[in-house]
Amino acid sequence: MSDPSAEMQAGRVGRAHGLDGSFYVTRALPRLLALGARVSVGGRSAEIVRRAGTEARPIVRLQGVEDRAAAEALRGMALTVAATGAPQLGEGEWWAHELEGCAVFDGELLLGTVARLIELPSCEAIELDWRPGGESLLVPLVRDAIRQIDVAAGRIEVNGDFLDFDLPRISPGSGSAIDTPPGADAGADAEPGRDDGDAEAGEGRHGD
């Protein structure tokens, strides 16, 4: 559930662009890369003093990164921002850290907790940890699958009839499954076109 002290990854430093210290951002969350925003990279905080490129391939330059060599020295490092400084999303949208840790229920049955938000080829999904040391389960963030998301309460209601999964049921408060799930493949967990294979997403949308 929402953690005000959380750090959010806005992307990673990609290859340098030009000679002035600008660089491409990979795995980017463009909303976190606005001109004037402060990001942390390599153990220090810096302001974004240039923002160019596209939403899919942003180009930024950080205060104090003055040439190509300095940009190349940061390549591969994560760019993070404080969750408290993230812009407010629209209705039906959530940042990943707001959903992580939420308990997921089908009616009164606890199915597990949200481990992370990921992107699939067709939609975003929440990955549930429902068996300690075991497999995980994906629930798509689509209207037919999600009945309600209450971030403040740390609770997500899903429609088990629509999902039609043979899910392990966890008794509220017990922390243990009362039946055994099949070893089914949960599906793809990477977004096509990402050259790094990182499936984590930064924001979720409760879509159609």
Domain boundaries, the chain: 7-85, 93-205
pLDDT (tens digit, 9 = 90+) per residue, 66-116?
999 999 999 999 999 887 767 767 777 787 778 888 999 999 888 889 988
Strand 146-150 and strand 38-41: the pairing is: unpaired
The alpha carbons of the chain give a radius of gyration, in whole angstroms, of 19
- State the pLDDT at residue 186: 34
Beta strands in the chain (DSSP E): 7-16, 23-26, 38-41, 44-53, 58-62, 78-82, 93-95, 103-106, 109-119, 124-129, 136-140, 146-150, 155-158, 203-205
Domain 7-85 fold = Elongation Factor Tu (Ef-tu); domain 3 (2.40.30)
The reply to whether 7-85 and 93-205 are identical in fold is: no
- CATH number attached to the domain at 93-205: 2.30.30.240
Could you tell me the pTM of the whole model? Answer: 0.55
Output the pLDDT for position 134.
59
Whole-number Å distance between alpha carbons of 112 and 101: 9
Query: Is 14 within 8 Å of 59 (Cβ atoms)?
Result: no
35-55 pLDDT, tens digit each: 999 999 999 999 999 999 998
Residue closest to 48 by CA, chosen among 96, 6, 11: 11
